[in-house]
Amino acid sequence: MLDAGTAAAGPKVVPRAKKAEAPAPAKKAAAQAPAKKGRAAAGPKVVPKFGLLLGGSGEVSGRCDGSACPDDMDDDPSDADRDADDESGLGVGVTLLVPVSDSIHLGGDLFFVPGVEHDPDDEDDEIKKWGSDLSVLGVGELRVLRSQSVDVFARAGVGFIVLFPDDDLERLIVAGKDYCEEKGFYCSVDDGPFIGLTLGGGAGVSIGFEGFRLRAELMLQWLDHSVLELKVPDARSTADYAGTRGWLLTGIELGD
């Protein structure tokens, strides 16, 4: 039999307060719901691409350092400078982009030009086909406008370029080596590859499809590298090329 004190305490024992806490799992599920609906973080993107040269030009400049240099080059080295139009034609490459935010991507870029060719203004200059070159750049990309279907971006890169001599340029190098052997004194000709600097910048658009995006961009590339180096006692003669070339690039953006 319950006494009056127990009866008075009885209603307080009824676990109504505990029933009020029963929806806790539902609260936990509700707290987790936004995570399920949230946008998954974007992963790295790979962009194989194809390039068409729109145009380009530059200057081949001669330079000689040392006491054995010809007097005319000592007085005015610009006499050895020659203008040339870039007619390299085509290029292929691949870009790796890693998003650091919704609008900023960082990564690397490889771009290969299999047939480097120049048309010199001097009609007597027969050195037109130089071989091939490879550009290796670190790149940054800013998505200026973003939507589900179309992105507009600007990009820039800096790195180095490697020229691999072949064709006309290789024949010139071989002729220089033969000259050194004929003279019978110390003389050396660098046969490459020649490493220089390159910068690039441009803008483009990417259009979204199921599982990939199509990209098109315009890029302006500046490059500076050697094309020939001859060393003799007390003198070093070099020929360097500096110029720009414009590209139309198309590619497929793969990744999240």
pLDDT at 97 over 80: yes
Q: Which residues contact 91 (CB under 8 A, 6 or more apart)?
A: 50, 51, 53, 111, 112, 113, 114, 247
Domains: count for the chain: 2
Q: Which residues contact 216 (CB under 8 A, 6 or more apart)?
A: 204, 205, 248, 249, 250
Asked whether residue 15 falls in the same domain as residue 97, the answer is no
Asked whether residue 57 falls in the same domain as residue 11, the answer is no
Asked whether residue 25 falls in the same domain as residue 48, the answer is no
| Domain CATH number, residue 151 | 2.40.160.20
Asked whether residue 9 falls in the same domain as residue 84, the answer is no
**Residue 172 CB neighbour total at 10 angstroms:** 18
Asked whether residue 29 falls in the same domain as residue 50, the answer is no
Asked whether residue 26 falls in the same domain as residue 54, the answer is no
Asked whether residue 140 falls in the same domain as residue 20, the answer is no
Asked whether residue 109 falls in the same domain as residue 169, the answer is yes
Asked whether residue 52 falls in the same domain as residue 30, the answer is no
Rounded Cα gap, residues 141 and 97, in angstroms: 8
Q: What is the pLDDT of residues 112-165, one digit of tens each?
A: 999 999 998 877 677 789 999 999 999 999 999 888 789 999 999 999 999 999
Pick the closest to residue 227 from 26, 58, 73, 39 (CA basis). Answer: 58
Model confidence pTM above 0.85: no
Asked whether residue 227 falls in the same domain as residue 123, the answer is yes
Rounded Cα gap, residues 217 and 202, in angstroms: 7
Q: What is the pLDDT of residues 24-81, one digit of tens each?
A: 554 454 445 444 333 344 789 999 999 999 999 999 998 888 877 876 555 454 556 8
Rounded Cα gap, residues 131 and 166, in angstroms: 4
Asked whether residue 120 falls in the same domain as residue 101, the answer is yes
Residue 76: which domain range? 42-255
Rounded Cα gap, residues 206 and 216, in angstroms: 7
